[in-house]
Amino acid sequence: MRVLVSEELADRGLDALRAAGHDVDVQLGLSPAELLDAVKGAAALIIRSATKVTADVLAAAGDLVVVGRAGVGLDNVDVEEATRRGVMVVNAPQSNILSAAEHTMALLLAQARNVPQADAALKLGRWEKSKWEGVELHGKTLGLLGLGHIGTLVAQRAYSFGMRLVAWDPWLSAERARTLGVELLELDALVAEADFITVHLRKTPDSIGLIGKELLAKAKPGIRIINAARGGIVDEAALADAIRDGQVGGAALDVYAEEPTTESPLFGLPGVVVTPHLAGSTREAQDKAGITIAEQINLALAGEFVAFAVNVEAAEASEAVRPFIALAERLGLIFAELSGALPPRIDIEYQGALADNDVSLLTLSVLKGVLGASSEEPVSYVNAPRVLSERGAEVRESKTSTAHDYVNLITVRGGDHAVGGTLVGLRGEPRLVMVDDHPTEMPPARNMLIVRNDDRPGMIGVVGTIVGRAGVNIGDLDVGRMADGRSALMVMAIDEPVPGAVLDELRAAPGVLSVHAIALA
């Protein structure tokens, strides 16, 4: 497929895309108008921070499956519109976390010791040793706003400097904070106690302008602010006023409300250290971002689970759930092939240890399989719920920790049909263990034949003769019988699809009740 790359990407990432067989179209420096034309016919668009993926861009890109941001922030992508159009949006959230943490520490140290100011003065021929007296980090209190991946890395590094660590993070438990050696505080209490603050928050409507006039007025006099997270979280004008008034002792910023920029009320202040959004700008981070986004794009274009999709209802799967993703989608596809039409309601039941986990991603996988068998539009983890709703059907999910025959079992029911599957053995191999309430034991194969027949002698021979006469090899076969003896079911793994004429002959054979040919992508 054609992959449009509109900004610089590490060579290893480009090579990974080409190795997957994709047509990599690198067009750098596109204007908004040029992007509208270039994106036509592209299945994937890879960007960094400069390209704006607007509603107009998404509308122009009729074949777009996925947008990939080789980095973390997605301020330049209309994620809501992408979701509405069934376009997956992925990023590389872990590619630059180490670089960002290290840059935060660099800003913290540079601000505390006035390194850039002293450097600039000396290079201009001024020896200003007394002017640029700094402060030690040891014994000071560091307030971390947000204790996610980057915040945790900063906390670990600051701890080695002998700093006391406090944090504000409404999404973190106090127990988890204690294991990190950090005390959780309310925001007002944190700013009243901290000597330094580092920002590690997402840019949301709630966080924009969070560090503003009101909060700074409550802060400990002389507090110093470091922000290498997202521009706009710090009100630059309010911070500049607080520095001039002496309420804030200084600041160090890597991000700004508008980027790129060469103007800010902070730039002319002597106690301020600034860098042009360099937190993720290391060779290692760019290499990791390129590789990560290429892997995510390749998975998305192959229709597989994409771990870093930001607009999937369940973006991450636990280690207990992840092995069942492929099985769930296969069960959905088999169910769809058996049903031949979408029932008004699909019931998905999870039994056993699996039921103790968040299985929403498995439900999406089942729907992706069910709808993908017949939908004219590509069905992804993103748009599967919308497609189901638009078709007037609903899904009902149930869980029970009780399982009779298997450690874990996924069952899909709807209308007159049902399928069940599990994973077996140390390798977690998939097994189809129930079809239309007939027990069976069969690894899902690329091509399968499911025949329901009267439970009487000779039926295996009748079916096998017809299939064999057509030159179709049966690689595996299993028979399941209803407990009441009314019918039996044969599930066959076959080497190639069965011709339509052979299916008709099977359906016409005495004792055969139904025949379904299954083709798994």
pLDDT at residue 375, as a whole number: 59
For 219-228, what is each residue's pLDDT tens digit?
Answer: 999 999 999 9
Please give the Cα distance from 258 to 274 (Å, whole number): 14
| Contact status, residue 242 vs residue 268, Cβ threshold 8 Å | no
Backbone angles phi, psi at 225, to 5 degrees: -110, 130
The contacts of residue 461 (CB under 8 Å, 6+ apart) are none
pLDDT at residue 379, as a whole number: 72
Cis peptide before 260 (omega within 30 of 0): yes
Residues recognised as catalytic: 230, 259, 277
pLDDT at residue 315, as a whole number: 45
CA distances from 326 to 362, 366, 376, 508 (A): 9, 9, 22, 34
Amino acid letter, 89: V
Residue 450 burial (10 A CB sphere; 0-12, 13-18, 19+): buried
Domains of the chain: 2-94+284-301 (3.40.50.720), 97-274 (3.40.50.720), 312-435 (3.30.1330.90), 438-521 (3.30.70.260)
For 283-339, what is each residue's pLDDT tens digit?
Answer: 999 899 999 999 999 999 998 878 788 876 544 567 788 889 889 999 999 998 898
Which pTM value belongs to this model? 0.61
pLDDT at residue 449, as a whole number: 93
pLDDT at residue 314, as a whole number: 45
Residues lower than pLDDT 70 in the chain:
171, 312-317, 373-378, 521
For 453-488, what is each residue's pLDDT tens digit?
Answer: 998 899 999 999 999 998 989 989 999 888 777 789
